[in-house]
Amino acid sequence: MDQIDLKHPDLYINRQLSMLEFNARVLEQARMPDNPLLERLRFLCIVSTNLDEFFEIRVAGLKQAQELGSTQAGADNRLPHEILRGISRRGHELVAEQYRLLNEALIPALEREGIRFIRRGEWNAALRAWVRQYFEESLLPVLSPMGLDPAHPFPRILNKSLNFIIELEGMDAFGRNSGMAVVQAPRSLPRLIPVPCQATDGAHDFVFLSSIIHAHVQQLFPGMTVVGCFQFRVTRNSDLYVDEEEVDDLLVAMEGELQSRRYGDAVRLEVAANCPEHMARFLLDEFELTDDDLYEVDGPVNLNRLLAVCDSVDRPDLTFPAFTPGLPVAITQASSIFKLLRGQDVLLHHPFQSFAPVMDFVRQAARDPGVLAIKQTLYRTGPDSAIVDALVAAARAGKEVTVVIELRARFDEEANIQLANRLQEAGAHVVYGVVGHKTHAKMILVVRRENGKLRSYVHLGTGNYHSRTARLYTDYGLLTADRAMGEDVHSIFLQLTSLGKVAPLEKLLESPFTLFDGLQQAIEREADHARAGRGGRILLKVNSLVEPRTIQALYAAAMAGVEVDLIVRGMCALRPGIPGVSEQIRVRSIIGRFLEHTRVFYFANGGDPVLLASSADLMERNYFRRVEIAFPIENPELRAQVLHDLNDYLRDNTQAWLLQQDGTYRRAEPKSGEAPFSSQNALLARLAEQG
């Protein structure tokens, strides 16, 4: 038998196209009638937000590589221009399906529930009068229409802003007529405006800001004739570049770079479907884009603004049922988190279980006179963070507070700069991690004096210290007073804040040093067990699996007889089911009410199982360009709890999508005689309080 080349391009799915398939699965959630109506609309908007970021970062990077003449291909051996063609083809299909779903399914269903987007042709006299008043009082004073001529070149268009290209006839007061103008919608006004009850007979009626501008655009060009008015939106390269070796202060450099993000190179143009070809061509030329970059949309160009409806309409019957996150019994009975942790570890599974114990951990540390120091990493926290409030209080109380803030957390850079300034003003020590490596690890270290000795308490997590996303993302968090873990976390904080060689860690794996090798060895060890007749079992749950050597190790393990189950939410470059290579590998993606975010690595290890939770996905950036951690779940009861959770995901036959050999996904369905089973609903029933 010929030896199989595990590096052959046919064994790999393109990562960017895999990301588009993830968004296709999210879009299916908007189609499913079993989901509440406003949640279906929310899923539709999430796809738009995801696609915005996809173009701002991933497509922008591919375009840059293409312009530089890059011949470097990934594991699938596709060059940038080939990937961009595939993205354009699949992207246009997705966007067309989005608007078809909105217009043919969601808008009619919302109207049946009394939630209406009233089109201009449906305005009654009272609504027309209200719209006119709104335009004249709230819009007209802040609009600045710009005619296009040699003295008025095409204006700078802000990334993802709503704009209109206007076609005109006639001469103005100066005898000018270029035939075209641009109107930029004010950023200060909402894109979807609730209509007062006196203007219509509905309680939840809305008009689009674009409709109001369309209706009264003639007033902006007195004495001329508006032939056409068409929405457009441009998406720009939003990846930040800071040469960290050439700057003295990363915070100052980031502040300057944030301003340029708004006007990066254009990567996508969205126009209204009724925009004439010559107008669309004019815009493409202005933004130096091609036909592949043009997306004609049958509806509002900024679809994600429909999220305002989900947040403003009070219809609990059209949303997912409310629930109260549960608490482990030990937490509810403990008078002190420190006393509890001296006797046992605590594992939390968010959002099914509350994030409050993590916040209480920091709050208690802030006010406990025995606590001498608190150290924490912050990647994303959100505004008005209770954890940050506690860190500020601790610093003001004279405790040693050290915070490692990742200034380069994508799209949270500005918030993190403000956070850094606030903590520094309170007296905390603030550092920005390590040059060239994002600090993505989720760690808290509390040092407490007890009976004349110092003791460490830690929290380690798979997700961010963000109270809002803790209700939307699934994540694990471990609270422990384990001595070795405390020393490992202390060593990592020393690396982040000081200088020196890497100290060996006893229990944690850390990138960029030991995580990749540690996981590779665990996979290879499982293959050795299988070859020795001891069986083999690998179960991994991550957001993304794209690193080629990890995939090759999994292929090799499967070929040795190891049973491999992969739960991969988003990008997956591994092809399951290839004869002689990956017949033992099954890949599924869970898409449901909550965003699956837990990263867990399980290895049967010949009867001595190893279970790790981690902040890292199986990607090159996480292995080699970030500071990440993987931490063991050693308590047998807690390990059994996580395995129970994972097996629920493997049982799921309603929200699971099964990856096929050709890179497509098939939705799992109950087999004959099998009851429908949702893993997220099962976790809610087991861990949370329904209400």
Nearest to 374, CA basis, from 349, 399, 338: 399
What integer is the mean pLDDT of 394-406? 92
**Rounded CA gap, 232 and 224, in Å?**
22
**Rounded CA gap, 182 and 407, in Å?**
36
Options 350, 440, 459, 466, the catalytic residue: 440
Contact 301, 162 (CB under 8 A): yes
Q: Say which residues have a Cβ less than 8 Å from residue 479's Cβ, sequence separation at least 6.
A: 337, 341, 345, 346, 347, 348, 357, 358, 361, 457, 458, 459
**Rounded CA gap, 523 and 212, in Å?**
60
| Confidence at 290, pLDDT banded by 50, 70, 90 | very high
Alpha carbon distances (Å) from 436 to 224, 246, 406 = 56, 12, 12
**Rounded CA gap, 43 and 530, in Å?**
42
Q: Write the pLDDT tens digit of every residue in 562-584.
A: 999 999 999 999 999 999 999 99
**How many residues does the structure list for the chain?**
691
What was the pLDDT predicted at 143?
Answer: 92
Question: In the predicted model, what is the mean pLDDT of the chain?
Answer: 91
Q: Write the pLDDT tens digit of every residue in 31-49.
A: 999 999 999 999 999 999 9
Q: Write the pLDDT tens digit of every residue in 47-61.
A: 999 999 999 989 999
What was the pLDDT predicted at 250?
Answer: 44
> Is 90 exceeded by the pLDDT of residue 188?
no
Q: Write the pLDDT tens digit of every residue in 108-133.
A: 999 999 999 999 999 999 999 999 99
What percent of the chain has a predicted confidence (pLDDT) above 70?
A: 93
Across the chain, which distance is largest between two alpha carbons, in Å?
90
DSSP tally for the chain: helices H, then strands E: 21, 29
What integer is the mean pLDDT of 153-171? 90
> Is 70 exceeded by the pLDDT of residue 150?
no
What integer is the mean pLDDT of 429-453? 90
> Is 60 exceeded by the pLDDT of residue 241?
no
Q: Write the pLDDT tens digit of every residue in 291-317.
A: 999 999 999 998 999 999 998 999 999
Q: Write the pLDDT tens digit of every residue in 485-525.
A: 999 999 999 999 887 777 899 999 999 999 999 999 999 99
> Is 80 exceeded by the pLDDT of residue 177?
no
> Is 80 exceeded by the pLDDT of residue 152?
no
Q: Write the pLDDT tens digit of every residue in 449-466.
A: 999 999 999 999 999 888
- Domains of the chain: residue spans and CATH: 10-318 (3.30.1840.10), 323-506 (3.30.870.10), 510-690 (3.30.870.10)
What was the pLDDT predicted at 422?
Answer: 83
Nearest to 318, CA basis, from 481, 114, 501, 126: 114
> Is 70 exceeded by the pLDDT of residue 263?
no
What was the pLDDT predicted at 175?
Answer: 63
Nearest to 521, CA basis, from 538, 505, 545, 546: 538
Question: Is 349 one of the annotated active-site residues of the chain?
Answer: no
What integer is the mean pLDDT of 81-106? 97
Residue 301: both structure tokens together = 């160009």
